[in-house]
Amino acid sequence: MTTSWDEAFANRYEEWSAHMTADVAFYTELARGADGPLVELAVGNGRVAIPVARATGRSVIGIDASPAMLAQARRRAAEAGVELELREADLRDLALDEPAGLIYCPFRSLLHLPTWADRRRTFERVAASLRAHGRFAWNAIAFDHRLAARLDGVHQDAPVPHTIHYAVGDSRIDIVRDDGATSSLWWATKNEWLGLLDVAGLEVEALYGGFAHEPFTDDSREYVFVARRRY
Ligand SMILES: C[S@@+](CC[C@H](N)C(=O)[O-])C[C@H]1O[C@@H](n2cnc3c(N)ncnc32)[C@H](O)[C@@H]1O
């Protein structure tokens, strides 16, 4: 199964993601309260999984399709002295030996799945991989037409020189670095997320507008979802 992730984006990922720190405490708190295995989908270089493993004293199963990102996670976990159980696999094929207490997917990574079918399949695999009352948490951007109008086609120097292109007809954002590495995201609406939970048989526990548990409002620009398996 091919993924939309460009391996070239792995180099300089640490610089690219350095500004994103607000989510770590949010996912760590959920992990602390979880009974059963902890699983990060699209674990990347371990940016979140490493502090989660350190804070909980537990291993985190990290799943990612990118050998380059997993190599970084392996090195960084060893340097941090924490245990990650890293698996090279596609999110859409998620299968665990033991049902999880928490499955989480930070930094909008579910948006790398291009189609409804890809996402539905992933949500169904997540639901099948959770314990009774186990949680699934993720965050994703809410499409902002004002931001899109401001950023579309405009070159930016930080954190790594790049230009963002909006392909509105495909609900797609292409982040194109000056060196050619490209990361594509397909945005989803609140109702699409709720529909995915519905078809997977999961229920919403909370929808926040940010990582400090801000209420989700019409002005929110980030979906921060916590869902739960009923039984
Ligand atoms: C933005 S990075 C997020 C990494 C990390 N979770 C973080 O928060 O920094 C996105 C990750 O999604 C992974 N990815 C994209 N599509 C995937 C798929 N279909 N299956 C598994 N991993 C995928 C990429 O390899 C990449 O490591």
DSSP 71-115: HHHHHHHHHHT--EEEEE--GGG---SS-EEEEEE-TTGGGGS-S
Cα-to-centroid distance, 106 and ligand 1 (Å): 9
Domain boundaries, the chain: 7-142+188-229
**Residues listed for the chain:** 231
Identify the pLDDT of residue 112. Answer: 97
> Which amino acid appears at position 33 of this protein?
G
From the CA of 90, give the closest atom in ligand 1.
Answer: 20
Return per-residue pLDDT of the chain as tens, 231 residues.
777 888 999 999 999 999 999 999 999 999 999 999 999 999 999 999 999 999 999 999 999 999 999 999 999 999 999 999 999 999 999 999 999 999 999 999 999 999 999 999 999 999 999 999 999 999 999 999 999 999 999 999 999 999 999 999 999 999 999 999 999 999 999 999 999 999 999 999 999 999 999 999 999 999 999 999 998
Measured from the CB, is residue 143 less than 6 Å from ligand 1? no
> Are residues 11 and 76 in contact, defined by beta-carbon separation less than 8 angstroms?
no
From the CA of 43, give the closest atom in ligand 1.
Answer: 6
Measured from the CB, is residue 109 less than 6 Å from ligand 1? yes
7-142+188-229: CATH number: 3.40.50.150
Identify the pLDDT of residue 220. Answer: 98
Measured from the CB, is residue 50 less than 6 Å from ligand 1? no
Measured from the CB, is residue 171 less than 6 Å from ligand 1? no
From the CA of 40, give the closest atom in ligand 1.
Answer: 6
Identify the pLDDT of residue 60. Answer: 98
Rounding to the nearest 10 degrees, give the CA dihedral for residues 61, 63, 67, 73: -40
Identify the pLDDT of residue 2. Answer: 75
Identify the pLDDT of residue 94. Answer: 98
Measured from the CB, is residue 3 less than 6 Å from ligand 1? yes
Cα-to-centroid distance, 198 and ligand 1 (Å): 24
- Write the DSSP symbol of residue 215: B
Distance of CA 84 to the CA centre of its chain: 17
Question: If we measure between CA atoms, which residue out of 84, 53, 59 comes closest to residue 69?
Answer: 84
Measured from the CB, is residue 125 less than 6 Å from ligand 1? no
* DSSP helix/strand/coil, 10: helix
Identify the pLDDT of residue 5. Answer: 81
Cα-to-centroid distance, 148 and ligand 1 (Å): 23
Q: Whose CA is nearest to atom 3 of ligand 1?
A: 44
Measured from the CB, is residue 90 less than 6 Å from ligand 1? yes
- First and final CA of the chain: distance in angstroms? 31
Cα-to-centroid distance, 109 and ligand 1 (Å): 5
Cα-to-centroid distance, 94 and ligand 1 (Å): 14
pTM of the model: 0.97
Test site for ligand 1: of 112, 175, 185, most ligand atoms within 8 A of the Cβ: 112
